[in-house]
Amino acid sequence: MMPPLLQAADREKARRRLAELRELIRYHNHRYYVLDDPEIPDAEYDALFRELQELEGQYPDLVTADSPSRQVGAEPLSQFAPVPHRLPMLSLENAFNEGEISDFLLRLGRFLNTDQVPELHAEPKLDGLAVELVYEDGLFTLGSTRGDGVTGENITANLATIATIPRRLQTGADKPPGRLEIRGEVCLSIAGFKELNRRRAEAGETLFANPRNAAAGSLRQLDPAITKTRPLEFFAYGAADSSELKVTTQAQLLQQLHTFGLQLIPHGRVCPDLATALAHFRFLAEQRQQMPYEIDGMVIKVNDLALQKRLGAKARSPRWAVAAKFAAVQAATRLIGVEFQVGRTGAVTPVAILEPIKVGGALVSRATLHNEDEIKRKDLRLGDTVLVQRAGEVIPEVVKPVTAQRRGDEEAIALPSHCPECGRELVRKEGEAARRCPNPQCPAQRLRALIHFGSKAGLDIDGMGKKAVELLVQNGLVGDIPDIYRLRSEQLAELPGWGEKSAAKVCEAVAAAKNPKLARLLAALGIRHVGEVNAQVLARHFPSLEALQQAKEEDFLEVEGIGPQVAASLVTFFNDPATAAMLEQLKELGFTVSPEEEPARQLPLQGRVFLFTGALSEISRNEAKARVKELGGQVATGLNRKVTHLVCGDKPGSKLTKAREMGITILTEAEFDRLLGGAI
């Protein structure tokens, strides 16, 4: 037995450490839940919380009522009205390996006094923001964040802008439940996150660190119009009380929510035993980098709802569920250098050179820094300890410096004034985040334009990937796009690592790419601001490549969805003599453009442009827009002379008066519904 003096010393040491841990965890909770600006990786936070729980387990008399181990999340923001949850929105206990998943099931058995493992339900743990949706008699009436688990923030107006949240439950002829509190996660897909940050970078705005922060920041906008511009999605994972529904299991509950019109988290499944649950955990861990959404683990729940009720909850988490966490995808390392790369549009992008570190199972030594404004905003310095994360990117990104670990010898990052490839002085236009090399013959730009042309985003020429194009350029076989169509198999066969078969296959793929559709070619040419979507819009409007070459800026502005920036870029590209020469060379080499396929039938709303104003009551505005587009119509973002119909919901505002003055057709919501019905 330990002597009393040592026992007292250990107890005092534990007391001091517990006080320190509580203060640290409260600080990081505030940064994560309230500021949406975490300062440490999730794994480091989890380690702090685990240490707190273990010490409190050893010294239960030192546990305080306000300990973070007894609380969920953080206090609601004062800018939003508080919303008390009828039943608490609890957090989940974590399991960090397969052994701890097994321990969770052993605890269930002890509580239920049985050796039998209950049937389980497992699904990916999306990294987003937990919210609650309240439906009364089938109508969405209230939406809130989790907050501290007891009281959340009223974000009803913001949640109403999300297309995957139905305004009314789809119950058919059945009577909807009187009150249903649906719980789920709001998140951004990785593709949506990248696009959002791309737009913010172009606008010179601060970039979001990760999809979770972007989702949280988007939901906490004071102006719902801003939230509406963000590609948010909602996934239902349960209900506070399912007693009004005829369901007995978690799986049945989710299926009922899906029937009501709600989106479910993909890859959910019923697991009859521990082995099946562990196999699904391994599957999700292996597939996480291929998932369209960021996931940081798998949630395991007891499938039987009666057993869930019997198991109940502890202070901050239910006994019947656990979050099995994957290895962290964030890590801290040192920034030891910065390189500057030139892209195909001339944009000069800084790339961090890092002390190699494993992030999400991959060794990382380079990461994007986005642009010079981001370097300045984050106050990054050479020698900094930085937080690095992988968010579905091939090249990870530096999230922020860990300023608390600065030693004083860090150095400012020197930004280039001239192109690192060709030496031309860089320019930065007003309103743009990037410095650009203005030299169209810059070797770096030409190389990346060639890589893009043959890539999946371009003409998708088999065998013309990045490494192959680099090799062709290095050997002087390709210098511009027409050179690709001049390649001969005997030339390629002599390249290191190729051979006759590989060479023949590449030449066949190149020949097969001589007759692309117009939209595909426009996307492949790498015209600034013209990606896949704008390319399709242009191809629908202009009958041929020749028509595009002859078009003026005002012609492009006539196209719905094409703004001044894109129009100016198109004029610059097609008026460039180098472009004309390149297209003429392609023509001489037998390159032709296929006409876009005509729709099988004339869609009923083709030629009509709709604008919506005021609140719609029967369907969401997003659904209304989708219906218009499905029937061949277009949707405008503002009132202009191209708008043919103004659809007015409740409180339409000044647009109604202006539309009447312009002679635009005015439709009530009922008239719009009849129009859609007649068009189908």
CA distance 202 to 529: 10
CA distance 562 to 202: 16
CA distance 88 to 132: 11
Other residues' Cβ atoms within 10 Å of the Cβ of residue 154: 16
Instruction: List, in order, residues 6 or more apart from 53 with CB less than 8 Å away.
Output: 69
CA distance 8 to 11: 5
- Please state at what angle helix 42-58 crosses helix 4-29, rounded to 10 degrees: 150
Q: Which amino acid is at 521?
A: L
Instruction: List, in order, residues 6 or more apart from 181 with CB less than 8 Å away.
Output: 85, 86, 87, 132, 133, 134, 135, 239, 240, 241
Q: What is the 3-state secondary structure (H, E, C) of 300-341?
A: EEECEHHHHHHHCECCCCECCEEEEECCCCEEEEEEEEEEEE
Cβ 417 vs Cβ 433: under 8 Å: no
Instruction: List, in order, residues 6 or more apart from 268 with CB less than 8 Å away.
Output: 121, 122, 123, 124, 251, 254
95 phi-psi bin (left φ>0, alpha ψ -120 to 50, beta other): beta
Q: Which residues are marked as active site? A: 125
Strand locations in 155-265, DSSP E?
179-188, 232-239
Q: Which amino acid is at 233?
A: E
Instruction: List, in order, residues 6 or more apart from 434 with CB less than 8 Å away.
Output: 201, 347, 348, 349, 371, 372, 428
Instruction: List, in order, residues 6 or more apart from 97 with CB less than 8 Å away.
Output: none
